[in-house]
A and B are shown apart, each in its own frame.
Chain A
Amino acid sequence: MTWINRGCAEYQELTRRQFLRGSGGVVAAAATLPAWLPRVALAQDYCSTRDVIVSVFLRGAADGLSLCVPHAEDAYYANRPTLAVPRPDSGDPNSCTDLDGFFGLPPSMTALLDAYQAGHALFVHACGSTDPSRSHFDAQRYMEVGKPADQALFTGWLGRHLASTAPQRANAILRGVGIGYGLQRTLQGAPEALPIPDLDIFGLTGNTGSRDERSATIQEMYALVNDPLRTNALITQQTIDLLNTIDFANYQPAPGAAYPNNSTGYAFKTTAALIKADVGVEAVAIDVQGWDTHNAQGTISGTMSTLMNTLSACLASFHTDMFSGNGRNVTVVVMTEFGRRLLENGSIGTDHGHGGAMIVLGNNIAGGRVLRNWPGLQPDQLFEGRDLQVTIDFRDILAEIVALRLGNPNLAGVFPDYSPTFRGVTVNCGRGDMNCDGALNNFDIDPFVLAISDPAAHQAAYPECNVNAADVNRDGAVNNFDIDPFVECLSNGGCPD
């Protein structure tokens, strides 16, 4: 048994038992922690190779040309006479805020500017699935399974990611959560994953006195049947106990984080609490419905404006809440099944299109820019003469995150029959900087040796540091195989991205 497993497993069990008994010992230990947090979170305020991922799906095909406006394109204004967001220099009170001289954020998305300027928010444009389908349901399905046009694949890319990696936390009860009533296709196939509509309300009802007895009877019955009910029942029972240790109702986000007071805001806020509670959840899927704006799209004021206000406020709050200080190791990725038609329709809305936009958020994301291979909006530059082209496959973005932020080298399993192109979505995550002074140099040698030989001692000596930064070869383990790569990085003055 290795050090970190022993520590985590025993600690978890101890904490759970003590918590359930209301032990005074835990109260004392938790005195310096927020009241809502039941355990000493092994705060992952460091740069790991195993981020928690929050996968956000904008259902209904969000208009990428409104989420991130190509204000330098005359064709955008010609095709969107009523829906276009005015240019940054237009003097119009509803003008977009320039990002890079070419793209801008509409007024309803400006809550994301702080994260963008901090370099943590990345927009990806003219991206999506290369499949030509304009069916919501096929396109969502293809994106969620991670393979366009495959009708036989039922598991999701994130489900297969979890299935092909060992748990980040040994003995994790729950590794994947889909906020909702049915598990998102994205997470199908994951071991230890459940759909949960409301993280704060998850318990067996009825007479309290008989609860344990009834719970046991249910468990005994379900233990005898086939999957998926058998496994789902087991995880459900364990998750009831798990979530009961977290007081979501009294969760206090970091100062400055103001989640919107609606169901989407609630989903993000409780997700933040869940991740901070550090119970082993590695992936959360959140759906935001309502982007199918055929009629009265309301980019400035109306349906889409309201949706964008919510989305940007959620992402900005999450950024403030999760990434302040050293930041937690969380990557958020936002996607949608396809973009919308360049030409607005007669209903002041937009019909189904092709290329769209994605948003990626994280401390280790190369943000503060709009990643694109911009195809242009002239008629001969459009997909089928109508729609924004897809010049960046959504799998390029997701695969890089899976490989470099989630530490899973098995891309062939996660994105079958596809060779992704990494596009610099992620940044080098402080590998080898074992004293956390922001530089890789000879001062890191001693702490590196300490991390390899006695991780606990390293953690004690450098409490703000990430012992996983010693995983220089990114194989998911800190061991002697990291020595050569560490030496190489030192000799080269840094590790390659």
Chain B
Amino acid sequence: MSLRTLISRSLGLDAFTDQASLEFNSESAVSADFIAARRKFLFGGSLLAAIVAAGERKARAGDPPSAEKWLVDRLTMGVTLAELAQAQTLGYSDYLEYQLAFDQIVEDPALLARLANLTTLTMTADQLVPIPPGQVQNELTEATILRSVFSRQQLFQRTVEFWTDHFNIDINNGIDRSLKLIDDRDVIRAHALGTFAALIDASAHSPAMLYYLDNYTNTVGNPNENYARELMELHTMGVDGGYTQQDVQEVARCFTGWALYNQNSGANSWHFRFNNAQHDNGAKTVLGNVINAGGINDGLAVLDILVNHPSTAHFIATKLCRWFYAEDPPATLIDSVATTYSGTGGDIKAMIRTIFDSVDPAAAPLKFKRPYHLYMSALRATGATVNTINGLRQNLLAAGQLPFAWSPPDGYPDRLDAWSGLLLPRWNFGASMVMTNGVAGVVFSPTNFFTGATTIDQLMDRIDDALFGGFMDSDDKLKIRTFLNVNPAQDQRRREAVGLAIAAPSYQWY
């Protein structure tokens, strides 16, 4: 008798049917939810479709938001009743011009007074040397948050955020713990709404950048390619911009000797230094251009080539369109903005103007707020007081977006799939910030927030107006109304209703 027959007899089988199958994962035992989810992923049009659909939203039950509401969403850290009123008074184009002319906007005196207390903000690099880096970091972070929440120059703050990512520098890295503050003031804020040429020139000279991307160690005969590569890949042309490894090496040679003074150099400490003795004065070829300007002019010549390269126009235009318009901006819009770039010498205001003059607000896709944006918008909309940033720091850290803390040089991502997985800190920020001492240093006053509202409808309309400019998703509004209606007069429940509105799906988008 064969082994096979022995076994089948032991099993009491006449034939090798699968009737006694012991499959581990038959569908019969899995939940309907799982089956539905699995069908969706496996059969219902593929993963890609699910991801593409992610950028969409269910139709709003009410009217589509006004063009002004959309513009305020795009230009600011979040709508407030005052900002929306301002935009509606001025109208779409004038509000855009108002925000573009940021230096004409008189700042909130209370904000200026707060900033004046942060003494490191106005120091030079050498003056920072003896200051504990932790203090410098704290003051820069506090200033950034206060400006985000309370500045009237909202477009400027949003543009600063954009360039901060574009020219990312990790604040937890060596002397950049101190020097990022200089970069923030003298590079990013000095040129955020200026020209790209001035911005890249300032960045290339920035001690914080020279340190972060190691160019301070880039010397003749011993080139270090780090800055040269990221200058082309991340700052100007983009990874597909058309440069080669050879170009990277040649650009590195052009930037040899670009360094900074060490901390024992008196008034020069931590300032930019061009060290001609460490510069490679041989001829180089970058993107087909022979460079033999000599000395510091070699690097400046590279910047000139890069600024005027069509790949740079396209790359900067793409990123600006993504930031201000949509995650996947249409090619026609990108081309328009790139044309503006090329025609204006990289005028950043002109590019932003092109974006908002070209698009149809009613047809604009929504964008997903990054955690920093969400938290700032919630603070603005609720009129919360920010006494210290201790709790905000904790909450931003928990969501993965503490300012200046992204370690690789590409900056915090501006993509839905980078942020859509971690919802819990968003819910928790809403739940915490409305509570007394829920977020240390932040005070939310339900009394102020709900002033004049008493009925359930009035209370819900206040939430709708303050957080959503009157365009709250009707489903979200109904669910929160049900929650609040259990006891609309109770302070605790009112707080929690606001917290739920911050956690609501529709508040995650703008």
CA distance A180 to B24 in the complex (A): 31
The CA of A191 and the CA of B56, in the complex, are separated in Å by 20
Contact with A along B471-487 (1 / 0, CB 8 A): 00001100110110010
Contacts of A448 on B, CB cut-off 8 Å?
A: 7
B265 contacts the other chain (CB 8 A): no
Q: Which A residues are in CB contact (< 8 Å) with B13?
A: 480
Distance of A492 from chain B, by nearest CB (Å) = 12
With A182-B418, A229-B423, A476-B25 known to touch, is A346 a contact of B217 (CB < 8 Å)?
yes
CB distance from B393 to the nearest CB of A (A): 15
- Per the bound structure, the CA–CA distance linking A481 and B467 in Å amounts to 61
Given contacts A205-B428, A295-B224, A347-B217, contact A166 B399 (CB under 8 A): no
Against B, the Cβ 8 Å flags (1 = close, 0 = not) of A185-221 are 0001101111111000110111100100110011011
Q: Chain A residues with Cβ under 8 A from B401's Cβ?
A: 181
Q: Are B218 and A347 in contact (CB under 8 A)?
A: yes
Residues of A within 8 A of B50 (CB): 227-228
Stretch at the interface among A32-40, A133-141, A371-379: A133-141
Could you tell me if A213 and B483 are in contact, using CB atoms closer than 8 angstroms? yes
Kindly state whether residue B330 has any CB partner on chain A within 8 Å: no
Which of A87-95, A312-320, A449-457 lies at the interface? A449-457
Whether the Cβ atoms of A221 and B479 lie closer than 8 Å is yes
Q: Which residues of B contact A218 (CB under 8 A)?
A: 427, 500, 503-504
B448 at the interface (CB under 8 A from A): no
A30 within 8 A of B: no
With a CB–CB cut-off of 8 A, which chain B residues contact A5? Answer: 24-26, 28-30
Establish whether residues A479 and B20, one from each chain, have CB atoms under 8 Å apart when the complex forms. Answer: yes
- Minimum Cβ distance to chain B for residue A151 (Å): 8
Q: Is A75 an interface residue (CB 8 A)?
A: no
CB-CB under 8 A for A9 and B29, given A206-B432, A227-B53, A346-B223: yes
Once A5-B29, A191-B41, A221-B504 are accepted as A-B contacts, the answer to whether A481 and B496 lie under 8 Å apart by CB is no
A155 at the interface (CB under 8 A from B): yes
- Does A45 make an interface contact (CB < 8 A)? no
Which of A120-128, A230-238, A269-277 is the interface stretch? Answer: A230-238
Chain B proximity of A107: nearest CB distance (Å) = 25
B239 CB within 8 Å of chain A: yes
Q: How large is the interface on B (under 10, 10 to 19, 20 to 34, 35 or more residues)?
A: 35 or more
Which of B18, B422, B486 has most A Cβ within 10 Å?
A: B422
Find out whether the CB atom of A217 lies under 8 angstroms from the CB atom of B423. no
Q: Give A60 Cβ to nearest chain B Cβ, in Å.
A: 7
A134's nearest neighbour on chain B, judged by CB, is: B245
The answer to whether B42 touches A345 (Cβ under 8 A) is: no
CB distance from B504 to the nearest CB of A (A): 5
Q: Does A249 contact B (CB under 8 A)?
A: no
- A137 neighbours in B (Cβ, 8 Å): 233, 239, 408, 410
A197-B25 contact given A351-B224, A480-B13, CB 8 Å threshold? no
Cβ–Cβ contact B17 & A228, under 8 A: no
Selected from B20, B29, B53, the residue in CB contact (under 8 A) with A170 is B29
Q: Is A479 a contact of B438 with CB atoms below 8 Å?
A: no
Would you call A113 an interface residue if the criterion is a C-beta within 8 Å of the partner chain's C-beta atoms? no
Contacts of A188 in B (CB 8 A): 51, 417
Give the docked Cα–Cα distance between A453 and B22 (Å): 9
**Most interface-central of A193, A292, A384 (chain B CB within 10 A):** A292
Contact B492 A225 (CB under 8 A): no
Question: In the docked arrangement, what's the CA distance between A445 and B40, Å?
Answer: 42
The interface stretch among A325-333, A361-369, A482-490 is: A482-490
Are A346 and B222 in contact (CB-based, < 8 A)?
Answer: yes
| Minimum C-beta distance from A136 to chain B (A) | 7
| A183, A188, A351 pick with most chain B CB within 10 angstroms | A351
A155 proximity list for chain B (CB < 8 A): 47-48, 51
Contact residues of B: prevailing secondary structure? helix
Say yes or no: A136 contacts B408, CB within 8 Å: yes
> Shortest Cβ distance from B481 into chain A, in angstroms?
10
Give complex CA distance A115, B417 in Å.
Answer: 37
Q: Please, which residue of chain B has its CB at the minimum distance from the CB of A202?
A: B424
- Verify B214–A205 contact, CB threshold 8 A: no
Q: Which of B434-457 contact A (CB under 8 A)?
A: 435, 438
A294 at interface, CB cutoff 8 A: yes
Q: Identify which of B233, B427, B486 gathers the most chain A CB atoms within 10 Å of its CB.
A: B427
Does A167 have its Cβ within 8 Å of any Cβ on chain B?
yes
Task: Name B456-510 residues within 8 Å CB distance of A.
Answer: 475-476, 479-480, 482-483, 486, 492-493, 496, 499-500, 503-506, 508
Q: Are A479 and B21 in contact (CB under 8 A)?
A: yes
Judged by a CB distance under 8 angstroms, whether A18 is at the interface is no
- Contact between B239 and A231, CB atoms less than 8 A apart: no
Cβ-closest chain B residue relative to A188? B417
A183 and B417 CA atoms in complex are apart in Å by: 8
A227 partner, pick from B54, B221, B428, B476, beta carbons under 8 A: B54
Interface string of B153-190 (1 = CB under 8 A from A): 00000000000000000000000000000000000000
Contact at B432–A205, with CB atoms within 8 Å? yes
**1/0 per position for B396-432, CB-CB distance to A under 8 A?**
0011110000011010010011111111100110011
B3 within 8 A of A: yes
Q: How far is the CA of A484 from the CA of B58 in the complex (A)?
A: 54
| Complex interface residues of chain A between 145 and 161 (CB less than 8 A to chain B) | 154-155, 159-160
Closest residue to B4 on the A side, CB-wise?
A487
Give bound CA distance, A28 to B31, whole Å.
Answer: 30
Indicate if the CB atoms of A167 and B225 lie closer than 8 Å.
no
B114 within 8 Å of A by Cβ? Answer: no
In contact, B16 and A204 (Cβ under 8 angstroms): no
Interchain CB contact (< 8 A) of A226 among B8, B53, B496: B53
List of A residues within 8 angstroms of B221 by Cβ = 346
Q: Which residues of B contact A294 (CB under 8 A)?
A: 213-214, 217, 224-226
Residues of B close to A134: CB separation below 8 A: 229, 245, 248
Cβ of A178 within 8 Å of any chain B Cβ, yes or no, is yes
A470-484 CB mask vs B (1 if < 8 Å, else 0) is: 000000111111011
Complex contact A221–B22 (CB within 8 A): no
The answer to whether B24 touches A476, judged by C-beta atoms less than 8 angstroms apart, is yes
Q: What's the minimum C-beta distance from A268 to chain B, rounded to whole angstroms?
A: 20
Q: Would you call A59 an interface residue if the criterion is a C-beta within 8 Å of the partner chain's C-beta atoms? A: yes
Task: Say yes or no: A207-B435 contact (C-beta < 8 A), given A2-B22, A229-B423, A478-B22.
Answer: yes
Known contacts A226-B57, A479-B20; A345/B417 CB under 8 A:
no
Which 8 interchain pairs have the tightest Cβ spacing? A346-B222, A181-B400, A5-B29, A206-B431, A166-B25, A347-B217, A183-B421, A477-B23
Listed A/B pairs (25) with beta-carbon separation below 8 Å: A171-B31, A171-B34, A178-B421, A182-B422, A189-B41, A197-B400, A204-B427, A205-B428, A210-B492, A221-B500, A222-B423, A224-B58, A225-B505, A225-B506, A226-B54, A229-B54, A236-B424, A289-B407, A346-B221, A347-B217, A349-B214, A349-B217, A477-B23, A479-B22, A483-B4
Add 18 more A-B contacts to A194-B422, A221-B504 (CB < 8 A). Answer: A135-B229, A137-B408, A154-B48, A167-B25, A167-B34, A168-B25, A191-B37, A207-B435, A214-B499, A218-B427, A292-B226, A294-B226, A346-B218, A346-B222, A347-B222, A351-B225, A476-B24, A478-B24
